Amino acid sequence: MVLKSKIEYPSFSLFQRIGLAMLACIGLGIASYLAWHGFAASKVVGCAGNQIFDCEHVLNSRWSKILGMPVSVLAIGAYGAILTSLVVLAGTTRRWLRNAADNTIVIGCVTAGIAAVWFISLQAFVLGHFCLYCLTAHGCSIGLAAIATLQIRNLNKLASQSGESTRSHLISGRLVAAMGVASVLVVAMLQVSSKPEPTYTIEAYVVEDSGSVETEEFDPMSDGEVFDPFDVGDEEVEIEEEQVARDDLDLKEKAEDRPSNTSVGWHQKKGPRESGRVPLPTVAAILLRPSILLGGWLQAGDTGEAAEKELQVEEKVSRKVAILGRSVTLNSAQWPVVGKSDAKYMVVEMFDYTCPHCRKTHAALAEASKEFGEDLALLMIPVPMHSGCNDTVTVDHEKHREACKFAKLAIGVWLTAPGKFSEFHKWLMEAPEVPTTKEALKKAAELVDAEELKTTLESKVPGRYLKNTVRLYKKSGKGAIPKLLFPTTALVGKTESASVIRQMVEQHLQ
């Protein structure tokens, strides 16, 4: 039975319809762009990542999808239904059709508004980051809900004055709210119950050169290219970085607190009978083989013969690690290693200290390391994702602003005191938030000889090292980080499961 009203209830006013149309069009445009981003896995323009706003973080989370498709598809449906209903209102005089259009608009607007509250809450309390595009669309949805709610109130007021019910024209506000809440609850339940999609991919490296493939039957670790992190030819390396000030590191005080026989990284500390200059034999040994700086680690007063002796010892204990389809071989003595160099398994990790996904993967690696114990070691390759030291980066994100500085500082710590690198690396990666540069400098000065660190950072060595980490990153195919590199495969992207890492290690490093 259809209730007939004694009075003619007005539809949305012209001003309201213009407002609805504008908000719905803006929302539809943003939702369409985000849906395209979700299906094409493309980069979002603008919205640089930082501690508050990070579109990539939000749009790549499990909450950005429902049943495998972007949630923005649902938003397209809601905005589309509202716009279609507005067109119907403008083009028909049939009362039943206008009533149906009004109800569709009200239900769509209120549902969109409740959904906006849900997704804003997820960004605020679950993800800890916001997406500017999403917030703009959610603002449009809340505006639509406000207009629809105002229309319900106006009609209820008019009905109260006439002593009638508005059911003949518009469904009750309570029913609209219930339908909106129910719709959002269904979406939320589907998101919570659905299995999160993998945030990583497994890439295989195929060696196209048949000659290289044949060598794998013999000793693939010793074949291919041996990658030397200091081999950059005569090219000058410049990094956009502030000079490390003596006051920032408190160098004088730190240096005075150190004993005079402290081990140094790659130049000598003045002693009672020393001039402070490195002997020519030592310089010659360093020039002939830069790995002395990395593996030999000269003690105060070492001669060139001692340096060569240290080098020979290091060469015996170093190991070759094959990656990228066994086309590249890394000498573990020339890279920072977390864990024992003679561990049963050694995984190569490309990472960035300012990368949120790298920090998540670090936690999973730490968990996996507990399971493997001393059998797992990590060869660390810092790849700062900032154009200041990485020419593959075309758009700089705010969150990576200090990436080059952190990487250079970590390399400086390693060059100065290799045994302290692991502690400094863990401190940087396990902090709840990325530390400031000043905090990192202070921590580094607490761990190593501050005077030696200052001299190391002022040299060209860390810059050359970063130049080559980027060169190796290019060889790996660039793309997303972190990357866990194995002889013929790579685990690329955020990996939060220690079991996945364990399976990859056991499968690809046997």
The answer to whether position 217 is within a domain reads no
Based on the domain organization, do 82 and 122 belong to the same domain? yes
**Number of structural domains the chain divides into:** 3
CA-CA distance, 90 to 86, in Å (whole number)? 6
Based on the domain organization, do 28 and 99 belong to the same domain? yes
State the number of CA atoms in the 13 A half-sphere of 148 facing the CB.
34
Structural tokens at position 37 = 């981003």
Q: Tell which of 270, 295, 317 closes a domain.
A: 317
Positions of the chain with pLDDT under 50: 1-7, 166, 168, 210-224, 232-316
Peptide bond into 482 cis (omega under 30): yes
Q: Minimal CA–CA distance to 334: which of 465, 444, 457, 211? A: 465
CA-CA distance, 61 to 192, in Å (whole number)? 12
Structural tokens at position 178 = 């219930």
Based on the domain organization, do 331 and 411 belong to the same domain? yes
In sequence order, what DSSP letters do the residues of 395-436 get, joined into one string? S--GGGTTHHHHHHHHHHHHHH-HHHHHHHHHHHHHSSSPPP
Based on the domain organization, do 380 and 425 belong to the same domain? yes
Q: Which amino acid is at 113?
A: G
The answer to whether position 8 is within a domain reads no
Based on the domain organization, do 380 and 442 belong to the same domain? yes
- Please enumerate, as own/partner, the contacts of 149-153 that have beta carbons within 8 Å and a separation of 24 or more: 149/110, 149/173, 150/16, 151/12, 151/16, 151/102, 151/106, 152/106, 152/176
CB 3 within 8 A of CB 168: yes
What is the predicted pLDDT for the residue at 416? Answer: 93
What is the predicted pLDDT for the residue at 321? Answer: 87
- Encode pLDDT of 163-183 as tens digits: 555 454 556 667 877 888 899
Q: Which amino acid is at 452?
A: E
Within 8 A by CB and 6+ apart from 399, the residues are 48, 49, 50, 51, 54, 354, 356, 434
Based on the domain organization, do 37 and 167 belong to the same domain? yes
Q: Tell which of 272, 297, 317 closes a domain.
A: 317
Q: Which amino acid is at 312?
A: Q
Q: Which amino acid is at 379?
A: L
CA-CA distance, 67 to 104, in Å (whole number)? 25
Q: Minimal CA–CA distance to 475: which of 371, 336, 324, 339? A: 324
The answer to whether position 254 is within a domain reads no
User: What CATH number is attached to the domain comprising 490?
Assistant: 3.40.30.10
What is the predicted pLDDT for the residue at 173? Answer: 63
The answer to whether position 198 is within a domain reads no
The answer to whether position 458 is within a domain reads yes
Based on the domain organization, do 328 and 298 belong to the same domain? no
Based on the domain organization, do 135 and 99 belong to the same domain? yes
- Encode pLDDT of 306-315 as tens digits: 433 333 334 4
Q: Is the dihedral of CA 57, 60, 66, 72 positive or negative?
A: positive
The answer to whether position 248 is within a domain reads no
Based on the domain organization, do 371 and 486 belong to the same domain? yes
What is the predicted pLDDT for the residue at 262? Answer: 35
What is the predicted pLDDT for the residue at 288? Answer: 37
In sequence order, what DSSP letters do the residues of 91-119 get, joined into one string? H---HHHHHHHHHHHHHHHHHHHHHHHHH
CA-CA distance, 280 to 283, in Å (whole number)? 5
Based on the domain organization, do 185 and 264 belong to the same domain? no
User: What CATH number is attached to the domain comprising 123?
Assistant: 1.20.1440.130
CB 125 within 8 A of CB 58: no
Based on the domain organization, do 457 and 402 belong to the same domain? yes
CA-CA distance, 344 to 104, in Å (whole number)? 65
In sequence order, what DSSP letters do the residues of 373-385 get, joined into one string? GGGEEEEEEE---
The answer to whether position 231 is within a domain reads no
Based on the domain organization, do 59 and 172 belong to the same domain? yes
CA-CA distance, 177 to 180, in Å (whole number)? 5
Domain membership of residue 489 as a residue range:
319-510
Q: Tell which of 286, 317, 348 closes a domain.
A: 317
The answer to whether position 230 is within a domain reads no
Structural tokens at position 169 = 């024209």
What is the predicted pLDDT for the residue at 491? Answer: 93
Q: Which amino acid is at 400?
A: H
Q: Which residues lie across from 347 on neighbouring strands?
A: 378
